[in-house]
Structure 1
Amino acid sequence: MNMNIKTVFAGLLLASISSFPALATGSHAGGHGEMMAVGEPGDKAQATATFHVTMMETDDGKMVFSPQEFAVRKGQTVVFSVRNDGATDHEFILDDHDKIMDHKALMEKFPEMEHDDPNSIRLAPGETGEIVWKFKNAGAFKIACLIPGHYAAGMHGDVTVAKK
């Protein structure tokens, strides 16, 4: 009898857990072991350029990266040294356009999602951080802040990777 009670209890517990919706706790498509078109994390000792990037809000209500355009070469490793000079949290996410748009839609559904991806960084006001990146493919890529509303307010830019 005691064994049956444990079996029934375990079955009820399993059934109740499986009926709860999945919670967004930071996982999303892209950047988790997948080959990224934009490249891969780089070795800072191999970096040939450092881009100093500021994230901020403007007096007219826009949110921006300064600068918003970057030119690199295929195979080049760079450091994006990022500072949040704004009054609210901002993100710097580097990826291809389609992945940025997919990620943006996911962030709109789960705005408190936290990231642990080498191609992104989220900074509170006054914080600094960096992303070291090796560009493996030529092409056009994006940077963006995907906190809901920030992209629409202008917080995105372009990275052009030349063949050599």
Structure 2
Amino acid sequence: MFDIERDPSAVELGVFAPQPPTVVWRALVEPDLMQSWLSRPIGFEPVEGTSFLVEVLSEPPHHVACQVLTVVPRTRLVYTWTDPRGDAPATWTVDWHLEAQGRGTRVLLVFSGFDMNDRIQKMARNAVERGWRNQVLPSLLASVASL
């Protein structure tokens, strides 16, 4: 499952959570918990086809538009991530994989769809990698640890 070929247009990050997949899954799909590690989701339900917004606390604040593509309980969650700012809104895919490992969970995040021929998209890819590695994933692990 984790033998995804390295793709330069994707950010691939893995972490280990000492909690079981059922606990990590809750953090990924319960809106109150999502708010604790990502940001406030508006209209989110872990149901394929559901459209929702994620409130981004930046300056100026804005929303990211998302749509749930795949739900495999306790195993996989995939949704689009569309930043509506700019002349050509960019849409990427956020793909969460959970795999039981011992008493814990191996978590793999693949954030894909960046256009490597576009300088702005390359910069966005690098910003996503830094932000999700240094802020989002540690926040997810802290949220999971508190459950």
Q: TM range, normalised to the smaller chain?
A: under 0.3
Normalising to structure 2: TM-score of the pair? 0.26
Specify which structure has the higher proportion of helix.
Answer: 2
Normalising to structure 1: TM-score of the pair? 0.24
Structure number, greater radius of gyration: 1
